[in-house]
Amino acid sequence: MRASRLLAAAAALSLVLGGTGAGQAKDKDKKADNPAVSFNKNPYPSTYKPYPGQPVLITGATVYDGKGGQIERGQVLLKDGKVAAVAGAMADMAVPANALRIDGTGKYVTPGIIDVHSHLGVYPSPGVQAHSDGNESTDPTTPEVWAEHSVWPHDPGFSRALANGGVTSLQVLPGSANLIGGRSAVLKNVYARTVQGMKFPGAPYGLKMACGENPKRVYGGKGRMPSTRMGNFAVNRMTWIKAQEYRRKRDAGKLESRDLAMETLAGVLDGEIKIQNHCYRADEMALVLDMAREFGYKVSAFHHAVEAYKIGDLLKAGDVCSAVWADWWGFKMESLDAIPENAGILYKAGACVVIHSDDANGIQRLNQEAAKAQGDARRAGIVISDGEVIRWLTLNAAKAIGVDQQTGSLDAGKMGDVVLWNANPLSTYARPEKVWIDGALLYDAQNPKLRPVSDFELGQSGEGDVK
């Protein structure tokens, strides 16, 4: 698996670079001539560039490093857009002369918050029909659609997530009407004129899949398959069989034309695209894990996963993250067994916990969601440190969407995605005071001009208001 991934990655790289040099031309096989194989895998490339930032040294703050650690009276140095160093008070740091020094006494620092499940941009505000771009619900499987082609970069919600939630990166997903809903878009939470200008450089694509009630309701309601949970699985399996066949033909050089849907599914089987699987019930998650084994792919994260607590052992063994709410409950049949201790019991089982929002309001309070889960766990006798809880919104989230090498913790060399909170972020009373993305100060509670205003809001009531 590993070797094939490496090969695939190398192939992808050469294609991205447009690469058939003179030397290679001699050796080029049939594959390179074949448009079904030698296509650009990155046709809408990220044009995001970090904005300029001054070096920053925060001192005296409580630092949650995103990896589960906590440093009292810590120092955090940002330089050249990166985390340069994190250390205790006594450490000797090489601080550039032009560094902005911020006294963080009584304040808290975390890595930028990451939401792995957002529909910002694809279901933007205002939530009018003309903006409803999140679900291509005309076919039960639409692996051919890409969320980035729906993202409206002027959604006012991006600014709320930044200013109130400290969110610096997010995965925008298609909705869950389809069994296979399409590719995700991983974004830096920085407004741009184009979606390409927001795309997280180097982030892998995710593929949204969905279990349970939604697909069978939507398509069953249209008188077509699937109308049952067994129908859900049958359609999924038939689709994966096709994808396997497509991939075999591809590898044998026998493809004659491109197939957008199959390219995405083959990308999953190649290990390049991460499965993000909406699934509520434990029994269905267990079936999905077997289906993934059957076809040779991996589920990166179950989303919502309200019954994950029933199968923490299986999820741990499968190395699957569960992206959960703290305590959403009871809004549909498959959410009836949700419990507020879900995250805590999963954590105790040693499984990967991520707190997600799936909501333009919830994304503004992921830190509070984590605090609720921590409190409910504590009352159930499961004591989890603040640092470990912060990991649920940072490094674990980064891992679930495949950007943990670039962001999600305060390791030196990682992106300078950092939030300075005016109190412990696990308190309801805390708010982001400053947010840096790639070392650029892009929100400052004390500077109204560093409060982004979307195009939509210009000239309307409340333009530039504190939100």
Partner 1 sequence: MSALRLTLAALLASAAAPAFADDFAVTNATLAIGDGSAPIQNGTVVVRAGKVVAAGAGVAVPAGVRVIDAQGQWVTPGLVVAVTDLGLRDVEAVDDSNDTEADKSPFSAALDIAAAINPDDLPIQVARAGGVTRSAVAPLDTSGIFAGQGAVIDLGTDPDAVTAARAFQYVELGETGAQKAGGGRVAVQAALRNAFAEARELARRGGGQGADPRVQDAAPERPGDALLNRFDAAALVPVVTGKQPLYAHVERAADIRMALGLKREFPALKLVLVGATEGWMAAKELAAAGVPVLATPLNDLPDRFEQIGATQSNVGRMAAAGVKVSLGAFFDQPRYAPQYAGNLVALAKLPGASGLTWGQALASITSGPAEALGMGDKFGSLKAGRAGDVVIWDGDPLEASSGVVRVFIDGVEQSLSNHQTRLRDRYKVPVEGALPKAYEW
Alpha carbons 335 and 339: distance in angstroms, whole number: 9
**Residue 224: CB minimum distance to partner 1, A:** 21
**Residue 467: CB minimum distance to partner 1, A:** 4
Provide the residue count of the chain.
467
Toward partner 1, which CB reaches closer, 77 or 326? 326
Residue span 418-447 as binding mask against partner 1, x where in contact by CB under 8 A, dash where not: ----x---xxxxxx-------------xx-
Is 337 one of the binding residues for partner 1 (CB under 8 A)?
yes
Binding range to partner 1, per CB under 8 A, among 88-96, 223-231, 371-379, 390-398: 371-379
Alpha carbons 54 and 98: distance in angstroms, whole number: 7
Positions in 241-260 near partner 1 (CB under 8 A) = none
Is 128 one of the binding residues for partner 1 (CB under 8 A)?
yes
Which residue from 302, 300, 296, 239 is spatially nearest to 269, judged by alpha carbons? 296
**Residue 368: CB minimum distance to partner 1, A:** 4
Is 312 one of the binding residues for partner 1 (CB under 8 A)?
yes
Place of tokens 């994260």: 301
Chain Cα centroid distance, residue 173: 9
Is 467 one of the binding residues for partner 1 (CB under 8 A)?
yes
Alpha carbons 105 and 273: distance in angstroms, whole number: 42
Is 134 one of the binding residues for partner 1 (CB under 8 A)?
no
Which DSSP category does 141 fall into?
B
Is 338 one of the binding residues for partner 1 (CB under 8 A)?
yes
Choose, by CB under 8 A, the member of 208, 247, 281, 365 that binds partner 1.
Answer: 365
Binding range to partner 1, per CB under 8 A, among 6-14, 186-194, 265-273, 366-374: 366-374
**Residue 310: CB minimum distance to partner 1, A:** 5
Which residue from 121, 82, 107 is spatially nearest to 437, judged by alpha carbons? 82
Is 457 one of the binding residues for partner 1 (CB under 8 A)?
yes
Toward partner 1, which CB reaches closer, 338 or 390? 338
Alpha carbons 343 and 378: distance in angstroms, whole number: 11
3-state DSSP assignment of residue 127: coil
Place of tokens 């650029």: 440
The total of other beta-carbon atoms located within 10 Å of residue 285's CB is: 25
Q: Are 340 and 372 in contact (CB under 8 A)?
A: yes
3-state DSSP assignment of residue 418: strand
Angle of helix 229-251 versus helix 282-295 axis, rounded to 10: 20
Residues engaged in binding partner 1 (CB under 8 A): 125-128, 156-157, 160, 164, 213, 309-313, 327, 329-333, 335-341, 345, 349, 360-361, 364-365, 368-369, 371-372, 374-376, 378-381, 422, 426-431, 445-446, 448, 456-457, 460-462, 465-467
